[in-house]
Amino acid sequence: MKPIPDKVEIVLEYPDKFYSGTFECSSRFSAHFDEGGVGLAFSREGADSERKSVRVHIHNALFAEILNELAKTVSAIAPDDIQGDALADGASALATALRRLARTRAGVSDADDLTPEEEVKLLHILE
């Protein structure tokens, strides 16, 4: 598990119960893909009265829909209120990894597929 760099707020509401918890920098998290979807875990260690953990598993189709919904709502956030570069870097890393997986499953070598930046460099070299 890795340290949480910011903050996570979890709220569960049932008709007769309400649970709320916060995980901050002293807490840890893990995130992974498995054959069915995305697994997220948040954990805070300590005394029995302070220890807590939450695990969430989101199936791939729903996670894809969540990403699409997030993309639609980005414009509603003031630019100063969001860490756009960090989010863009994370989304780009995920997209690159998923494309690489798709190419591998299709039997295409990474050497067969250049990024746009690599294509521009190659063109300059060839000139």
Tell me, what's the pLDDT at 50?
A: 84
Tell me, what's the pLDDT at 14?
A: 96
**Is the alpha carbon torsion for 93, 94, 96, 100 positive or negative?**
positive
Question: Which parts of the chain register pLDDT below 70?
Answer: 78, 80-82, 109-114, 122, 124, 126-127
Burial class from Cβ neighbours inside 10 Å (0-12, 13-18, 19+) for residue 75 reads: exposed
Tell me, what's the pLDDT at 106?
A: 79
Half-sphere exposure of 32 (CA within 13 A, CB side): 9
Tell me, what's the pLDDT at 48?
A: 86
126 token code pair: 């060839």
What pTM did the predictor assign?
0.74
Quick one: which H or E segment has residue 66? helix 60-73
